[in-house]
Structure 1
Amino acid sequence: MADGSNGLTIIKRKKVVAGGGHHGGAWKVAYADFVTAMMAFFMLMWLLNATTEQQRKGIADYFSPTIPINRVSGGGDGAFGGDNIFTDETLAQSGTGIAQPTLGSEPIRSDRRTGDDATAAQVAALRDIEAVLLGRGGESMISEEALRHVVTRLTDEGLIIELFDLPDASLFFGDTTQPTSVTGEIAGVMAEVFGIVSNDIHIEGHLSAKSVLHANYPVWEISTGRAEQMRLLLEGAGLNPLRITQIAGGGDREPATQNATEPRNNRLKVILLREDE
C-alpha cells in the first residue's frame, strides 16, 4: 500500500495492575488488638484472685497517685534541676509542690483557713496521714505482716482506718479482749502518725456473727472491750488521751461482708474525724 493511504492504525494498551500478590493485612492488626485485650483481661482476673484487699488498693493507688512518687526529683538543669518535689514552693519547677508531713513537727490544724479552704486543708491533711501510714511513695512504717490487716478510706466523717482479722491471723486472742502483738504494733504506729494532726478520734469494735450454739456469746461486752483495749494501746504509745472522744461496741450488727460469720467481720475502726468548720 502506498504511503499516505487511508489505512487503519491499531493501538494496543497494556493494563498495569499494581501490588501483584498483596491482598491486604488489616485483619492482622485487628487480631493483634484482640489478643492484647484478652491478655490484659486475663491478667486483671488473675490479679483480682491472687491479691489481698490491701494489695488491690495499693495497685489502684499506684495508677492514680495522690502524692508524688519520689521524694527527690532527678538531677540536672531546667525541669530536672534536682529540687525537692515535696517543697511548698515548687514541684521540679513545673507546678505546685506538696509538703510531706514530718513526724514530731507541729500538728496541722485546719482552723487557720475558712470555708472551702478549710475543707480542702482538712482533706489534704487526712490524705497525708493515710499516705504516711500506708507508705505510699516509700516504705510503710508498718511491717508487711501487720499491713495485711489494714485498710483505709476517706469519707465525709473523716479518715477511717479499719483493722480486721485474717483467716490465719487475729488481732485478739480467741474470743477475748487480749490484743496480739500485731495489734500493738499497728497501734504504736498510728499513735505516732496521729501526732501530725490534732483531729479527734473515735474507736469502734465489731465482731463476726456466731451460730445459735453461741446464744450467750457476749458480743456487746467483747466488741466494746476491744475498742477500749485499742484506746489503752494508743494512749500507752503516746497519744493525747483528750483526743479520744468516743469508744463504742457494735457487736455483730454491722458485718463488713455478705457472710456475717467470716473472720473479716472481727474488726476495729479507728476514725480520725474531720474538724468542725
Structure 2
Amino acid sequence: MSAQGNAAPVIIKRKKVVAGGGHHGGAWKVAYADFVTAMMAFFLLMWLLNATTEKQRKGLADYFSPVVPISRVSSGGDGHFGGESVMAEDTLSSEGVGASSLRATEARMARGQTGTSADAGLEELQRKIDEALTASSGESTVASELRRHIITRVTDEGLVVEFFDVAQAPLFAEGGAVAAPILTQLAKLLVDVGAMVTNAVAIEAHTRAAPIVLKENRDWDITTERAQVMRTLLKQQGLAQDRVARVTGHADRDPAVRNPMAVRNNRIEVIFLRQAE
C-alpha cells in the first residue's frame, strides 16, 4: 500500500499534428490591400481636383490644415511648398488643376476646363487681349497708358475683362456716371478683339466705399448707371445688343481689394459668359 503511494504520477502529452504542412503566410494580402487603398485615395483626389471650384478646394485644404500652424499661411512642413500653403498671399493660386492663365499648359483639362470649343474660344480671346495690351510694335491697338487699366482672368462663369481706376486716371467722373475718354478707347479695344467669339456678355459695375457715412448713399444708382453707360459704349463700338445677357450694379458690396475705400474698387467688369454644352 505504501509502495503504491510513493509511485510517480504518469503525465500524458498529446501533440497535435496538422496534415498538409499548413499555409505559407498571408503578408502579401495585407500589402495588396494597402496598395489598392492607396490607389483608390489617389484617384479620388484626382477627381476632386477636377470636379471642385477654387473656393471648394480652399475649404478642403482648410479642413486638413494643422490645428497649430507655424504661421498664418504655413502648413508647418518643409517639403515642396517650403512650409507655405497654396492660399499664401505670395503664392500663385491656379484656377484649374496644375496650371493657370500665367502658367498655362497645352492640355485644357489641366486647367479644370471642359474642353469645349466655346471654352477654347475664350482662351483664344484672352490671349488676343493680352497680345493687344503687351504688343511693343506699332500693331498694338492700345497705348501704354491704357494698359494699366485692364486685367483679364478666367473664372467658372467665363472670361472676365476688368477695367478699373488708377490714381489720377479715373474711368468715370467722381460720384457720377460720366465716362472719361479713356473708357471709350477701352470699349473699342474690347469690341474689336471680342468679335472673334459669339458668347453672351454680362456687364457689372462696382464702386469704392465712401470714407464717411452719407445721408443719401447713391452707390447703387451710380453703379447701375455706369453699367448702362458701358453697355452704350460697347453698342456704339459695334457690339450686338442681343449678346448682352445682363447689366448689373453692385454698389460697394464686392470690393476687389481689402481696403473698401481704395480707388482700385472703382471698376467695370465685362464677362464673356461660357456657353452651355
Question: Could you state the TM-score of these two structures normalised by the residue count of structure 2?
Answer: 0.57
Q: Secondary structure at the match of 2:122?
A: helix
| Distance across 2 between alignment mates of 1:127 and 1:117 | 10
| Distance across 1 between alignment mates of 2:166 and 2:274 | 29
Counterpart of 1:132?
A: 128
| Distance across 1 between alignment mates of 2:102 and 2:119 | 20
Contact 2:101/2:153 (<8 A) preserved: no
Contact 1:125/1:197 (<8 A) preserved: yes
Q: Gaps (5+ residues) in structure 1?
A: 1-60, 68-115
Q: Secondary structure at the match of 1:230?
A: helix
Q: Gaps (5+ residues) in structure 2?
A: 1-99, 107-111
Return the offset for 1:217: 2.8
| Distance across 1 between alignment mates of 2:142 and 2:270 | 16
Within-5 A mapping of 1:4-43:
none
Counterpart of 1:234?
A: 234
| Distance across 1 between alignment mates of 2:126 and 2:103 | 15
Counterpart of 1:173?
A: 173
- Aligned CA-pair RMSD: 2.9
Contact 1:133/1:141 (<8 A) preserved: no
Counterpart of 1:199?
A: 199
Q: Secondary structure at the match of 1:203?
A: strand
Q: Secondary structure at the match of 2:228?
A: helix
Instruction: Confirm or deny that 1:122 pairs with 2:118.
Output: yes
Aligned residue pairs, count:
173
| Distance across 1 between alignment mates of 2:201 and 2:259 | 29
| Distance across 1 between alignment mates of 2:146 and 2:225 | 21
Aligned-pair identity in percent equals: 33
Distance 1:178 1:144, change over 3 A: same
| Distance across 2 between alignment mates of 1:212 and 1:160 | 31
Counterpart of 2:147?
A: 147
Counterpart of 1:42?
A: none
Distance 1:240 1:216, change over 3 A: same
Superposed CA offset, 1:107-138 (max 9, x none): xxxxxxxxx99734222211111111121784
| Distance across 1 between alignment mates of 2:145 and 2:135 | 17
| Distance across 2 between alignment mates of 1:62 and 1:141 | 22
Superposed CA offset, 1:229-258 (max 9, x none): 000000000110100010000001111111
